[in-house]
Amino acid sequence: MARELPRPAKEVDLHAEDFIHDMDVYEARELLSESIDLLRASLDAAIYWDYPEIRFIHGKGKGILKKAVYEELAYYKQSGAIASYHPSYHNEDIVVVHIGL
Q: What are the residue ranges in the chain where pLDDT is below 50?
A: 1
Distance CA 78, CA 82 (A): 8
Q: Output the pLDDT for position 1.
A: 46
Question: Strand 94-98 vs strand 53-57: parallel, antiparallel, or unpaired?
Answer: antiparallel
Q: Output the pLDDT for position 101.
A: 65
Quote the pTM value. Answer: 0.90
Q: Output the pLDDT for position 62.
A: 80
The helix, strand and coil proportions of the chain, stated in percent and rounded to the nearest 5, come to 45, 15, 40
Which amino acid, residue 3?
R
Distance CA 14, CA 31 (A): 10
Are the C-beta atoms of 22 and 39 separated by less than 8 Å?
A: no
Distance CA 27, CA 93 (A): 23
Q: Put the strands of the sheet holding 53-57 in their side by side order.
A: 11-13, 53-57, 94-98, 84-87
